[in-house]
Structure 1
Amino acid sequence: MHSIPDLNIPSARPLLIAFTLLILSSCATSNFSPNTPTRMASDVPDHFLVCTHANNSTCEPKPDEGCRNPMIDPLDGTKLELVRSNGEYGDYKVPDNRYGVERKELLRLECSTGRVVGIVQR
């Protein structure tokens, strides 16, 4: 008969606690803010494209792929960096003075289409 390891051993507790904290912290990475856009963005393309890491080529966003990183402006190649998402929407950091987004704001995109939803607070 096999015995079950005793987790009451003092040396096993720190490992169990560390493992639990690691699992919990990996689940909290989205940190998506449900706040509604404060205003519309300016000078944005019809939609942003997905940048593939393999050869920096671009492709259309797809509904079953979630929020991708980075997204690319097809008009001038500006890259947007994903900060947070909930699967349906992604909030992206943009270069300074682009699209009307200010320092403590992000550009929200619809992940399945790459279309701009608006500007949200960071």
Structure 2
Amino acid sequence: MKKYIFFFYLITAVLLFTACSASRDPFWSVLRKAEDTPDRFEPAEGIVLDGSSCKSPMVDTRDGTELVMVLAQKGKGIYKATKLKYGLQKGEALMLNCASGEVLGIVKTRG
């Protein structure tokens, strides 16, 4: 009986550890602030921010640079820029608040 209790606690601990580490996905962790961004990115012509979903592409109205959505989750979107700017380096993208288009920071991409 003690053997079964031990295995129950062992399996429970492994499941908890796995669940906690999955929720700390580094893809969603901001590495640093972005540089020289607009106050907010705007959706492309004909697209409207509705507060319920992420839109793509998003546009820097100052110069027309487009951001293309790679992934969205919980009101945040990961966007790759068509030009390496805003302090981005290879393998990085911008995280935006999907409801407002505001920049949350620079994140690492998965590939």
- Give the TM-score, by structure 2 length: 0.69
What's the counterpart of residue 10 of structure 2? none
Mapping of 1:1-122 within 5 angstroms?
35-51=28-44, 57=45, 61-64=49-52, 66-122=53-109
SS at match of 1:63: coil
Instruction: Letter of the 1:114 partner, please give it.
Output: G
Structure 1 pair 85/98, CA: closer, same or farther in 2 (3 Å)?
same
Q: In the superposition, relative to structure 1, how do residues 76 and 60 fare at CA in structure 2: closer, same or farther (>3 Å)?
A: farther
Q: Which amino acid in 1 is paired with 2:34?
A: A
Gap runs ≥5 in structure 2: 1-24
RMSD over aligned CA atoms reads 1.9
CA displacement at 1:36 relative to structure 2: 1.5
Q: d(CA) in 2 for partners of 1:83 and 1:95? A: 12
CA contact (8 A) 1:50 1:59 kept: yes
Q: How many residues are treated as equivalent by the alignment?
A: 85
Query: Per-residue CA shift, 1:6-45, capped at 9, x if unaligned?
Result: xxxxxxxxxxxxxxxxxxxxxxxxxx86532000000100
Which residue identity does 1:97 align to in structure 2? Answer: L
1:58 Cα deviation after fit: 5.5
Extract unaligned runs of 5+ from structure 1.
1-31, 52-56
Paired amino acid for 2:104 = V
Instruction: Return the index of the structure with the highest Cα Rg.
Output: 1
Higher helix share: 2
Q: Hey, what's the Cα distance between the residues in 2 that align with 1:36 and 1:113?
A: 19
Partner SS, residue 91 of structure 1:
strand
TM-score normalised according to structure 1 size: 0.63
SS in 1 for 2:54: coil
